[in-house]
Amino acid sequence: MNAIFYKYPLSIFVAAFILQCAAGYAGDFVRRHTGPLKETTQKDFGTILPAALTLLALIIGFSFSLASSRYDLRKTLEEAEANAIGTEYVRADLLPPGPAAQVRQLLVEYTRQRILFYEVRDAARLAQVANTRGTLQNELWNAVTPPALAKPTPISSLAVAGMNDVLNSQGYTQAAWWNRLPVGAWELLVLVAVACNFLFGYSEARDRRLTLMLLPLIISVPIFLIADIDTPRGGLIHVVPQNLEALMAGFPK
């Protein structure tokens, strides 16, 4: 279930459209087999259907706001991670020449792996990137701690603090990529959309039942957009590591 909601936004669009069309035609089928609506019932539907559509619009707006805020957070943390790496690259000058050169070399390779984190889509390749990143993090920490422990001064502690920021920024980024729109919110959104289409199909007679597909199409488009924004590695909208790429381009060759 989670894979459907979190990896395949186009599948969500197709599933939502089919479910809503089925609900609309089911409502139309029930109306045609139960007879025309009475005047009082028609008035009730004149109140219930707009209210249901208003509720659906609020849920879509709320879900879009949640997805957009998570997308903005992922972009902000990418910038923060690039700044942390760049700062530590400069602070490497506070270490002795040998460890400083090692830290700078490791930071260049670490930045390359962080760019791959944003660009890789294949699960096996992504696991390999994660393993390499973990190894580099250990090597980076081991590169700054011995000089700082040998001569514990406020200046050397700046290099250690900067490396701590580099490692923490990766954790914050990973947490933001895991933080997604809850499955319960998706289920509620789809359920209300299906109910609205059933009421729409049941509400009145139509000469052309093809019009029952218009409302599902209109609703499925924002649902797809929400799913796409909330899917970091799938769909069409991705966080581009432009700050990390700019940092990589600025490193001495």
Element (H, E) at 85: helix 39-91
CA–CA separation, 216 vs 168, rounded Å? 44
Residue 129 DSSP symbol: H
Please write the tens of the pLDDT for every residue from 181-205: 888 888 899 999 999 999 888 876 6
Output the pLDDT for position 206: 64
Q: For residue 46, name the pLDDT band (cuts at 50, 70, 90).
A: confident
Supply the pTM of this predicted model. 0.84
Please write the tens of the pLDDT for every residue from 73-131: 999 999 999 999 999 999 998 888 899 999 999 999 999 999 999 998 888 898 999 99
CA–CA separation, 107 vs 114, rounded Å? 10
Q: Which amino acid is residue 144, in one-letter code?
A: V
Residue-range domain boundaries for the chain: 2-250
Least trusted range by pLDDT, from 40-44, 49-53, 134-138: 40-44
Q: For residue 23, name the pLDDT band (cuts at 50, 70, 90).
A: very high
CA–CA separation, 172 vs 68, rounded Å? 18
